Structure 1
Amino acid sequence: MNPRVLALCVALIFSLQVRPLAQTPPQVTLVKAAHLLDPKTGNVLSPAAVLIEGNTIKQVGAPSLIRPPLGAKIIDLGSATLLPGMIDSHTHLLLDVILPAEAERARHYNGTMTIVELLAIAESPSKRVLMGAQNAREDLESGITTVRILGHSGIDGDTELRDAINAGELVGPRILAAGRKLVTRGEGYVRNLNPALADAILNQEFLFIEGAEGGREAVRQNVFHNVDVIKVTAEENLTVAELAAVVEEAHRNHLKVAVHAAFKVPIQTAIDAGADSIEHGNELTDEQLKKMRDKGIFLDFTPASYGEFFDRMFEETLAQTLAMRAERLQANAATRKRYDDLIHRLQSPEVKFEGAFDEQDRQRYRDLVQRVLKSGVKFAAGTDMCWFYPGKTCGQATIMALLNLHSAGLPALDMIRAITTNAAEMLGWQDRIGAIEPGKFADLVAVPGDPVADITELERVQFVMKDGQVIRNDLARN
């Protein structure tokens, strides 16, 4: 081609105005219901309407005051009560720890590996992610629109699951992922392993805190894997200096630190080091509660053991669980016979189930709940969900476990706050989730009755919206 002609063609191309592609306007949806609960204030708006544009709440008020544009989608939920999508702030969606009773005893008394260590060897990462994806969807369908996964997900199972959901490749709740949990050697999960094999096994689940600088490096490794929160297990051999270094490095990277601390000494370490939340807190003293209040440290209740949840689960389903586990393991003849013998004994009418927790345990948890309420400490609630409950979805079991907190004496409205507004603040996402307010994500749940009058209404979720998308609607009247 003539160079002059070529130059003219190039000039013509660059002189043309490129017409921008027309953008599809976001879907506008109006959700109407007889009632809307604001957990923060306890106020109920009746009747109520929520105007949503795309994934964001734009307006909340009486239906007569909201004028949706032409073409808006109308969802009428009739006599139902709307409340914010629920938050499970402590879960392990990629972990299933149900094992036979004799294996559970052996791991404590015979120096054998813990369940978590066994999983790191026996379960493939891909299998665990598949299980996590199923659990995530089941959680969402029960109204859990946000979860915080605090470890036991392999190296990057939770972050990969989060990213797949965010990309629309999978359906599930919003996920804050902790990646690998930070631990010390010689305590808790990490013991009784052949040193030559220990790191190869445990590096799949944990990052080690080896002095203050080692703690910083562990945080940096998780930051590299794009986590949303740092999880630390505090045992008695973790020093304040080590944990403080972890907290400082996490905060430098704009990440909160959740610390597993059940007993007095680790709880004090977490308080002194400036943790953002203490998970469990079983042996909290009144003085420690006062320090937590003064420092603004959250307590994350894990109430599955507070009431009858575990008793019901084991009594109703232990034999079934063992049978399914034996099948899943494809056990050899000798192992299968041990399973079958145990299952036969469990099914005998002469066997009396004594319960996983006695009345003294329950009273201790009831006392803890009342002391926390009296102290003014900020609190949320998470299930610590890491087990399979035959006959229940993960979401159904999650709600059952959370309701134990009410059984332990927490008033219904405070119970709802613990899994909505309070949890959102603890996660640092109070500007995004936890309430039905303009500017927040359109995460909505509807139940047929009044959850403040009857907290078990949370087990009867009939409508779920996450990010402006309807996940479930058993009340359709559009």
Structure 2
Amino acid sequence: MPNEPPRTTMREGRMRSQNKFVVVFVAVAAAASAAVRSQEGEGAGTARTPSASPEARKFLAPPNQVVAIRAARMFDARSGRMLANPVIVVRGERIAEAGAGVQVPAGASVTDLGSATVLPGMIDGHVHLNLNAPNPPAKRALIALANAQVDLEAGFTTVLDMDSRGGFNTVEIRDAINSGQFPGPRMQVVGQSINQRATNYYADTQSLRYYEGFTENKNTNSPWLARAAVREAKLHGVDWIKIYTTQDFVGPVHMWRPDATLVNSPSLTLEEVEAIVDEAHRLGLKVACHTYGGEGMRSCLSAGVDSPNHLLELDDAGVKVLLQKKLYFVPTIDDLISLEKADLRETGGRNSRLKLMEQAFKRALAAGVTIVFGSGATSATIPHGRQADQFRYFVKWGMTPAQALQTAFLPAARMLNYGWENHIGSIEKGKFADIIAVSGNPLEDVAEMERVRFVMKGGLVVRNELSAR
């Protein structure tokens, strides 16, 4: 079936942390090479039939298994309301029925979550699974897969990896998960970005080919070279293209002017960004843009990228473009929290990227811009698995708890490639059984989302601290 997320499993099993990392270190390279590509051909994102061997299907479920989930409450991602005493019937990897008054089918395995609240699996629209460090390729892949699995256990059943920081191991990890050889979240990936986020003042002169270097070593100097870079990325099997339209030399000393305003050195020209967006869309890919402000932000929004990220200096003109083009806004608050101390030190306490984000967020919210959950989690100062702390900031900055929760569900699903909103983002008949649960009511205390106790991805119980069955 075209244009749907990869199949997952219905087989119930616990994957605690120790077991998970044992799985990770078994054979990443072998799994990646044997993985079933979900991005082959025109039907990118298509579900593929995995190998029939039991080993290859370890995390893919029997299609005839039936499970019924009971709980005290269910969050309706469309309305933002709680439904009382729901029953969710899962057949195979998908939801057959959901709601109050649903009957438990004869012979179904019942998972009773008691007084808990069930919600759709969360979607994180901006993560970095790879550590931004010069580790050997095998170690990089191991760290990335481990981070993906940590995210899954925290309730993030889908993640969008926004730059591998070099190489395309996220493509192989995605495919290994899709084939059922490893547990992990659903993934869409950009592989490498196709222009630099600068870490030094000089271009790399050692790499003979464009994609041999890390993120920081590349330039796309002209619209035609930009199109060529998109085409090459497509052949590597990516789902998205990532660009940086403000260079943001790494380190606060290069970030701020003496008056404590952002430097915002522009990177790509408008013509180059337009070429990238046009070529990506022609090839069935979407485009994400890292941008803070100034010319770079204007180019990003004017070209109509699918996922504008950060937008720290968002102004009324930028809001107008977001609304006119129906673009999403991905804030990445966790990313900025990690930068707060250094920013305040460099500006003498006058400014920080987190302060700018608060202003941009409030401006976007007041105007009705669609905000999508994206954390910016890495494997360094912003640990994976803790991203749900963003909900507290969303509420602090003006959202209701229901609005905050909704950012991680249907809006995020709609932003993803391949029409995934038809398959994830809500607990509804026909969608994948991506379901999480917390002990309390997150509409009363949104911090409950930081204490996920039950995770099911496509019918596979990844974590269950609420029920003995």
Instruction: Specify the TM-score bucket, using the shorter chain as the normaliser.
Output: 0.7 to 0.9
Q: In structure 2, what is the Cα distance between the partners aligned to 1:181 and 1:420?
A: 26
Q: Which residue pairs with 1:366 in the alignment? A: 358
Quick one: which amino acid aligns to residue 456 of structure 2? Answer: M
Residue 286 of structure 2 corresponds to residue 248 of structure 1: no
Q: Which residue pairs with 2:99 in the alignment? A: 61
Q: Which residue pairs with 2:14 in the alignment? A: none
Pair 1:356–1:399, CA change in 2 (3 A): farther
Cα RMSD (Å): 2.6
* SS of aligned partner of 1:258: strand
Q: Deviations over 1:73-131 (max 9, x none)?
A: 110000000011011110101125xxxxxxxxxxxxxxxxxxxxxx3xx3111111100
Residue 173 of structure 2 corresponds to residue 182 of structure 1: no
TM-superposed deviation, 1:403:
3.9
Quick one: which amino acid aligns to residue 377 of structure 2? Answer: M
Residue 399 of structure 2 corresponds to residue 410 of structure 1: yes
Structure 1 unaligned residues grouped into runs of 5+? 1-22, 97-118, 315-352
Pair 1:459–1:167, CA change in 2 (3 A): same
CA contact (8 A) 1:303 1:405 kept: no
Pair 1:359–1:475, CA change in 2 (3 A): farther
CA contact (8 A) 2:86 2:102 kept: no
CA contact (8 A) 1:378 1:422 kept: yes
Quick one: which amino acid aligns to residue 83 of structure 2? Answer: L
Structure 2 unaligned residues grouped into runs of 5+? 1-60, 247-265
* SS of aligned partner of 1:215: helix
TM-superposed deviation, 1:165:
0.8
CA contact (8 A) 2:361 2:397 kept: yes
Q: In structure 1, what is the Cα distance between the partners aligned to 2:245 and 2:355?
A: 25
Q: In structure 1, what is the Cα distance between the partners aligned to 2:102 and 2:345?
A: 57
Bigger Cα displacement from structure 2, 204-213 vs 377-386: 204-213
* SS of aligned partner of 2:421: coil
Q: In structure 2, what is the Cα distance between the partners aligned to 1:29 and 1:372?
A: 41
Residue 393 of structure 2 corresponds to residue 439 of structure 1: no
TM-superposed deviation, 1:153:
4.3
Q: In structure 2, what is the Cα distance between the partners aligned to 1:25 and 1:464?
A: 19
Q: Which residue pairs with 1:204 in the alignment? A: 213
CA contact (8 A) 1:300 1:380 kept: yes
Q: Deviations over 1:166-201 (max 9, x none)?
A: 1111111111010110115xxx41643475326579
Count the aligned residue pairs: 384
Residue 82 of structure 2 corresponds to residue 44 of structure 1: yes
CA contact (8 A) 1:304 1:402 kept: no
TM-superposed deviation, 1:305:
5.3
TM-superposed deviation, 1:208:
3.7
Pair 1:354–1:204, CA change in 2 (3 A): closer
TM-score (norm 1): 0.75
Q: Which residue pairs with 1:7 in the alignment? A: none
Residue 240 of structure 2 corresponds to residue 216 of structure 1: no
Quick one: which amino acid aligns to residue 65 of structure 1? Answer: V
Q: Which residue pairs with 1:272 in the alignment? A: 302
Q: Which residue pairs with 2:167 in the alignment? A: 155
Pair 1:189–1:86, CA change in 2 (3 A): same
TM-superposed deviation, 1:407:
3.7
Residue 311 of structure 2 corresponds to residue 281 of structure 1: yes
Quick one: which amino acid aligns to residue 58 of structure 1? Answer: A
CA contact (8 A) 1:78 1:477 kept: no
CA contact (8 A) 2:163 2:190 kept: yes
Identity of aligned residues (%): 34
Q: In structure 1, what is the Cα distance between the partners aligned to 2:398 and 2:359?
A: 9
Pair 1:251–1:475, CA change in 2 (3 A): same
Residue 412 of structure 2 corresponds to residue 420 of structure 1: no
Structure with larger Rg: 1
TM-superposed deviation, 1:202:
7.0
* SS of aligned partner of 1:51: strand
Q: Deviations over 1:252-310 (max 9, x none)?
A: 11111111111121111011112112111101111111111110111111112566x66
Q: In structure 1, what is the Cα distance between the partners aligned to 2:81 and 2:349?
A: 38
Q: Which residue pairs with 2:327 in the alignment? A: 297
Q: Deviations over 1:413-464 (max 9, x none)?
A: 2221111111111114211111111111110010011111111001111100
TM-score (norm 2): 0.76
